[in-house]
Chains A and B, each alone.
Chain A
Amino acid sequence: MSLSCFLRRLLLFCSSSLLLTTFFIASVQAEYVPIRAGSVTAAAPSGKMHRITLRAAALPSGQLGYQMVSHKIQSPDGQTEDVTNRYSDKPTIPGPAIVMTEGDVAEITLENGISNTNQPVSLHVHGVHFDIYSDGTMKMLNGVADEAAFPGKPYTYKWTAAPGTAGTWMYHDHTFGNPMIGAEDRGLFGALIVNPQSGKVPALINGKVEEVNVSDIKREFILWMHETTFWGMEVNNILKGKQVPLWTNPTLGARLGEKVRFHVIGMGTAFHTFHLHGHRWLLPGTANVVDTVNIGPISRDTFVVQAGEGVGTGDWHFHCHVMQHMQAGMMGDFRVVK
């Protein structure tokens, strides 16, 4: 037996022929061409640069929230747009929704504005690329640094919305109060929406699967399912990304026929079934049509619907379909008007 066949036997592939030889060759190649996955420096230079300052602060209730202090977007041609006025000037739950496109880079400085504490507060993001110094955790977890803002001592993170990171992701604190967990549970969380470079997303429109232009989406409804409460935020694209804090169990409003996008995200410990009356959508990555999706902690569903399609105007209820969650008031309305 040749050495290569012996090796292939070890791989349990020796008895087969062409396909397995190909596999073997591929594995040999892998030895010589090591893959450096997730390289942060590989960001597409064509994208925009977001310079963001966020502050973590307490709300009157004693819950915590992130607040947008400044958001400037620099185009590759050097033009800078200040979009800070899109956001509430107070801390909110959920925090500001940060919208990027694949290829963009963000530099986010976090300030610790939580009074009467010297606890570190951080930003840990999901989905996009970042190096180990932007993990938003303490040294005890990441092994390199305390990546958090202390009072009077901000911390800057760098996120790269590399190709393949399109989607809706969570950002949250990972250090406050408990260095293993953080205080997302107390309100320190928000959404990062990364739009695909193609500018198109699949959707069920007039009963058919089609590609919808992201630029045609009029409103984004971000709904967080935290224990038995929906916390909401609207990003209104008609008003150039104006953000409207919707707080708890809100009424979402749209005009009949508008394309709107829902971002339903779970957090905490409970598992939910999100249901929207009168509407259907595509289960992501499939052609399956659903009107209810399972949402667990930090799992999410993003989908586009045409408001009132086939059913018309009305207050279309949305709720978690877990019985004791409904009993605790986990519900709201999707109000479709003419």
Chain B
Amino acid sequence: MNKLRKLTIAVALSLGTMSLAPAVLAETGASEDDVILSVAGVMPVAALEMTDEPGKWFKDPTDGDSLVVVKPGDAVLIKMTDVNSEHTITSLLWQPGAAKFPVDQDKPSSASVTQTFDKPGLYVFTCKVHPYMFGAVVVDDPNTEGLDLGSEIQLVTGAKVPTTSDVAKKLLRTFFVATTPSLWRDYSKPSWDLKLPSIPLNLGGTVIGLDALNVSMPNRLSNPATPGVGEVWVNAQFETIKGKSKPGSATQVDAEKWTIKKKVKGVDINMNNPHNMWTDRTYKYIYQTEWFDKRLVTFDRETGQIYGALTVGQSPSHVMSRPSDDSLTVAINGEDRVLKLTGGKHPTAQDSVNTGPNSGPHGHHVTHDGKYALTPNALAGSVSIVDLDSGQVSTVPNVGVIPIAIWGDASDKAYVANLLGTPPLLSTLSVIDLKTKQKIKDINLAADYDPISGKTTGEAYGLLPIQTPISPDGKYVVTANTLSATITITDTSTDKVIKSLLCEPGCHGVNFGMKKGGGYYAYVASKFANDLIVIDMDKLEIAGRVLLADTKDGDIVANNGMGGQGVLPLPIADHGWIEQTAKLAGSGQLSAEVEAWLGALTTAQRGIDLPQKVSSLP
């Protein structure tokens, strides 16, 4: 791990135990003052190059790591080198009062930024479209003890927190884990040991060791006692696979036996960071977005054969069909639109609906009647309600900071996860009334958490919420919180967090599948771990953990089963979709396997009568 060597060297230098290498200064031709009137701009002493590579999203070209250590007054070049889509270069956190901060752009581009750092301390950069791409700059004053992280950090949300606080340590630990694949939680090993060396960190005078962030816990896999019905597709987005330069697979898990059936790797098309999937009503095709790229891939569910990869726009994030006609909607996260496509084997673009300037829609949701697409506009902090027939768009402004995922229920309500909360609240779900097109309330997911001490006094403990579906029976919202590594369960009748369950570092994707004999499982995938968590929605407890790594597959070079993001359980448990498939039972249009799945469902699972309130929206 180069960043640790680098930190050690920086500390050694500050203690005077190693000699300083001569700094290379920009030449200004000082002796020719009268004639040379130009003043050189800054020459960066270090660089962070953005890539599509798991963990190395901001890569120091000298050693391949995502952290550089510089001195006050130095400049760092941040640029895009090995990326297939556009990004923003955005300050996630920085030192309060630092000159020329924060760094940001309204929308993604191929930007390069040369940034000078005047104030010692920690600075973290991210991309607003892909907000776990992290790169850090530590500006270390060689005259102080230890590595300077500063006494406070300013978060992009406006909050300022002491570096000694629990939330700051969580951010630091998350940075180290997210950007270091060797520290990811590998469930093919008996335990997870996050061991960092005792490098002294100077938190504005308080010196602690980096090893204060260490964690050690056993890895226990277990199959749920009750089988599920069908299968679960999980995007292991960070798997490094032989024969292609870009990472990721779609991993197919048997929900009855809890084994891996296959991995669709897309070697021939160099499938790049597969993020989210959907299917047609016969479950013949899987539609796959490439989030760090520009394409929508179609492959055969049974054979894994790839039928095509259609260029749809910058950073397509989520795909969902309209249950009424199997046509597709794709959120173009790196742009400002939802693309409408025909379904089938070779989708073709039909129309594009603009979601507003600099909106960047991410995890959208189609209402059960297929009339509306709801988009959480990650870059604009708003929600758009897109009428898929007329193309009319209504926008709910000022929802939160980086609203990243949304889910509509069977009536007029939708829940949206704000990755960076609703200031001053650190972590929120917003409730949107689709009829009045207004935000009704914010649910504080971290109401029972003290960000300074880290004490929790109740179940409401979720930080940095991501995917947030509503259970098919409408009772619960299940949210994956990536920073706290918790799953929060919110009761929709009270809008209170009633349960918090432990998940993995970087937990991210959630979706519901069918439990055998009735009821539902919630499946949760995590970016920096390789298990799939199964939650029993009748008990609101974790029913099991299933390994997503295929340890016998020699073509998986690294990060086996890691990068869990999009989750697609089949049969689709969502009302609106399940009825369309159930209708085809016995028609000859479904495979024997799908027929058997449908046969195993209870009446309630096959579709209940829904209130038709959504269709009465103005």
| Interface residues in chain A, defined as those with a beta carbon under 8 Å from any beta carbon in chain B | 58-63, 88, 90, 185-186, 221, 226-230, 232, 234, 236, 238-239, 242, 244-255, 268-270, 323-325, 327-329, 332, 335, 337
Given the interface pairs A228-B109, A228-B111, A242-B32, the reply to whether A62 lies near B61 with Cβ below 8 Å is yes
Which 4 pairs show the lowest CB-CB distances between chains A and B?
Answer: A253-B37, A62-B61, A250-B41, A62-B62
List residues 22-53 of chain B with CB under 8 A from any CB of chain A: 24, 26-29, 32, 35-47
User: Is the beta-carbon distance between A253 and B112 smaller than 8 angstroms?
Assistant: no
User: Is the beta-carbon distance between B105 and A327 smaller than 8 angstroms?
Assistant: yes
Given the interface pairs A227-B112, A242-B32, the reply to whether A63 lies near B61 with Cβ below 8 Å is yes
Which residues on the B side are within 8 Å of A234 (C-beta)?
A: 36, 38
Distance, CA A324 to CA B129, complexed state (A): 15
User: Is the beta-carbon distance between A63 and B39 smaller than 8 angstroms?
Assistant: no
Contact pattern, B 564-579, Cβ under 8 Å of A = 1, otherwise 0: 0000000000000000
Query: How far in angstroms is the closest Cβ of chain B from A68?
Result: 13
Query: How far in angstroms is the closest Cβ of chain A from B21?
Result: 8
Query: How far in angstroms is the closest Cβ of chain A from B389?
Result: 33
Distance, CA A268 to CA B83, complexed state (A): 12
Which residues on the A side are within 8 Å of B62 (C-beta)?
A: 58, 61-62
With both beta carbons as reference points, the residue of chain A lying nearest to B107 in the complex is identified as: A324
Distance, CA A337 to CA B38, complexed state (A): 11
Query: How far in angstroms is the closest Cβ of chain B from A111?
Result: 20
21 interchain pairs, CB-CB under 8 A = A61-B62, A62-B60, A88-B27, A90-B27, A186-B81, A226-B112, A227-B111, A228-B109, A232-B41, A236-B35, A238-B35, A242-B36, A245-B40, A247-B26, A248-B75, A248-B77, A249-B41, A327-B105, A328-B105, A335-B39, A337-B37
Is B302 in the interface zone, CB < 8 Å from A? no
User: Is the beta-carbon distance between B106 and A328 smaller than 8 angstroms?
Assistant: no
Which residues on the A side are within 8 Å of B38 (C-beta)?
A: 221, 232, 234, 244, 246, 250-253, 335
User: Is the beta-carbon distance between A61 and B111 smaller than 8 angstroms?
Assistant: no
List residues 55-107 of chain B with CB under 8 A from any CB of chain A: 60-62, 75-77, 79-81, 89, 103-107
User: Is the beta-carbon distance between A247 and B36 smaller than 8 angstroms?
Assistant: no
User: Is the beta-carbon distance between A250 and B39 smaller than 8 angstroms?
Assistant: yes
Counting chain B residues whose Cβ lies within 8 A of the other chain, the interface size class is 35 or more
| Interface residues in chain B, defined as those with a beta carbon under 8 Å from any beta carbon in chain A | 24, 26-29, 32, 35-47, 60-62, 75-77, 79-81, 89, 103-107, 109-114
Name the prevailing secondary structure of the B interface residues.
loop
Distance, CA A138 to CA B412, complexed state (A): 62
Find B110's partner among A60, A244, A268, A327 (CB 8 Å cutoff).
A268
Distance, CA A147 to CA B217, complexed state (A): 55
User: Is the beta-carbon distance between A253 and B36 smaller than 8 angstroms?
Assistant: yes
Distance, CA A88 to CA B111, complexed state (A): 28
A-B contact number at CB 8 A? 134
Distance, CA A273 to CA B260, complexed state (A): 52
Given the interface pairs A324-B107, A328-B109, A329-B113, the reply to whether A248 lies near B32 with Cβ below 8 Å is no
Which residues on the B side are within 8 Å of A242 (C-beta)?
A: 29, 32, 36
Find B111's partner among A230, A252, A328 (CB 8 Å cutoff).
A328
User: Is the beta-carbon distance between A251 and B39 smaller than 8 angstroms?
Assistant: yes
Query: How far in angstroms is the closest Cβ of chain A from B48?
Result: 10
Interface centre among B28, B32, B36, B37 (most CB of A within 10 A): B37
User: Is the beta-carbon distance between A61 and B47 smaller than 8 angstroms?
Assistant: yes
Find B105's partner among A185, A186, A324, A332 (CB 8 Å cutoff).
A324
User: Is the beta-carbon distance between A60 and B24 smaller than 8 angstroms?
Assistant: yes
Interface centre among A58, A227, A252, A335 (most CB of B within 10 A): A227
Interface centre among A229, A253, A255 (most CB of B within 10 A): A229
Which residues on the A side are within 8 Å of B81 (C-beta)?
A: 185-186
Given the interface pairs A62-B61, A185-B81, the reply to whether A249 lies near B114 with Cβ below 8 Å is yes
Query: How far in angstroms is the closest Cβ of chain B from A249?
Result: 4
Query: How far in angstroms is the closest Cβ of chain B from A297?
Result: 10
Distance, CA A245 to CA B28, complexed state (A): 7
Which residues on the B side are within 8 Å of A58 (C-beta)?
A: 62
User: Is the beta-carbon distance between B36 and A239 smaller than 8 angstroms?
Assistant: yes
Distance, CA A90 to CA B43, complexed state (A): 13
Which residues on the B side are within 8 Å of A270 (C-beta)?
A: 109-110
User: Is the beta-carbon distance between A248 and B44 smaller than 8 angstroms?
Assistant: yes
Find A327's partner among B77, B106, B114 (CB 8 Å cutoff).
B106
